[in-house]
Amino acid sequence: MNWRSEVERPPGFVFRKHRKGLLRSSETFILHCEDVPLAKLAERYGTPLYVYSTTAILKRLGAFENAFRRVLHTICYSVKANSNLSILRLMARQGCGFDVVSGGELERVLVADRRAAKKVVYSGVGKSRKEITAALKAGILLFNVESESELWVLADCAAQCRTVARVALRVNPDVAADTHPYISTGLRKHKFGVPIGNARELYGKASSARHLKVVGVSVHIGSQITDVAPFAEAIDRVADLVRDLRADKHRIDYVDIGGGLGIEYQAPNLQFVECAARYARAVANPLRGLNVHLLLEPGRSIVGPAGALLTSVIYRKENDGKRFLIVDAAMNDLIRPTLYGAYHEIVPVVQSKKSPAKKETVDVVGPVCESGDFLARDRELPRVEEGDLLAILDAGAYGMALASNYNSRPRPAEILVRGKSAKIIRRRETGRELYAAEL
């Protein structure tokens, strides 16, 4: 393992030698997104700045497609992970469908590619009548229904639209997953889905409704799960339910296995091809022989490692031996460390092989007036100075999607890189835009 391997995320983020002067003898390395130096992007667009790699997204999407190549399937990208229109258009061009959980996400998909509606699955426990009606009019593929009350609201909306809604019940298999409790969804104590033991009765009720058509079963046990065993356990229970439902004369064409495959933020496993293959075996084997169409909802596992958040060091500070790096990114730009205690690797954008910086233990904190405004605590980093650039890695998922304007801070710009080309896909907000709707 060489000196840079622990802080690289190929093919998206790689250190390259900085070549300058006639002799080209520099021992300085600069972090690049594909072929574009991150320092150049920061100079041009400012910081904080989200940067995404097109190649990394496509490689990971391709790994998913290859892993499930022997199974009839559709990848329905989870919009909540990163909902930028350019990312959605990129997914649509690859033939992806979409998993949405709100009317706003559906609207984004329709703006990105109206034709993608026929590959949209709609999840979420609190769909409003207005949202349901918009989805019916758009002609989406499937509603993942999460309660009996929602079932009858959907039937009523479909009747008013003079159409038939295709339905899968999201069942709760009561399977525990080793993940943060805020993003675990597969236990009976969680708000999601209907108990799997009640499913046959509810399917019977749904099949009696004139404007509902039962076509599938849906399950999702949580997010950021790195052990495939809980997936296998959940799908095994779903497979038994599919057999029971078919015995009850229901036609089950689709099984939506949700998303949730995690990434290794702290000790990255760069062999994602094998990770995707293990996941595919775990969920496909229990369904063998059932001839169902799998719907997959990956999000984080595709876009997470494809993004980084660039930030500049504003000040160095020391309080009685406690060292702080105060940077211009804050919890409003990346809330995961504050919200989940999440770990993101942080690296200096410019590094020297010849004389590597001494390490120091610091808290990396932002300007927001909260003690919870931190990006890392007690982190050992190479010493950096005021004005230096840091890259917060694996920030492509649930970074910008969860960003806010707390402390009246404009949200960052976003850049999409492909090879030597860098395209701005969201400009930085202005201060006036933050209060324009209040005038």
Q: What is the pLDDT of residues 370-383, one digit of tens each?
A: 999 999 999 999 99
pTM of structure: 0.93
| Token pair of 307 as six digits | 């993004």
Q: Could you give all domains of the chain from N- to C-terminal order, each with its CATH number?
A: 5-53+305-438 (2.40.37.10), 68-298 (3.20.20.10)
Cα distances (angstroms) measured from residue 148 to each of 122, 131, 198, 206: 16, 17, 10, 9
Mean pLDDT of 332-347: 95
Q: What is the pLDDT of residues 119-137, one digit of tens each?
A: 999 999 999 999 999 999 9
Percent of the chain at pLDDT > 70 equals 91
Mean pLDDT of 201-217: 96
Identify the CA nearest to 51 among candidates 333, 273, 324, 434. Answer: 333
- pLDDT for res 266: 79
Q: What is the pLDDT of residues 10-35, one digit of tens each?
A: 899 999 988 665 445 567 899 999 99
Mean pLDDT of 283-299: 96
- pLDDT for res 173: 84
| Token pair of 76 as six digits | 């329905």
Please indicate whether residue 369 is annotated as part of the active site.
yes
Q: What is the pLDDT of residues 135-155, one digit of tens each?
A: 999 999 999 999 999 999 999
Which of these is catalytic: 33, 96, 157, 369? 369
- pLDDT for res 180: 40
Helices (H), 248-335: 272-284, 300-303
- pLDDT for res 267: 65
Establish how many alpha carbons lie within 13 A of residue 237's alpha carbon, considering only the half-sphere containing its beta carbon.
Answer: 20
* Average pLDDT score, the chain: 91
3-state secondary structure of 225: strand
- pLDDT for res 281: 95
- pLDDT for res 187: 45
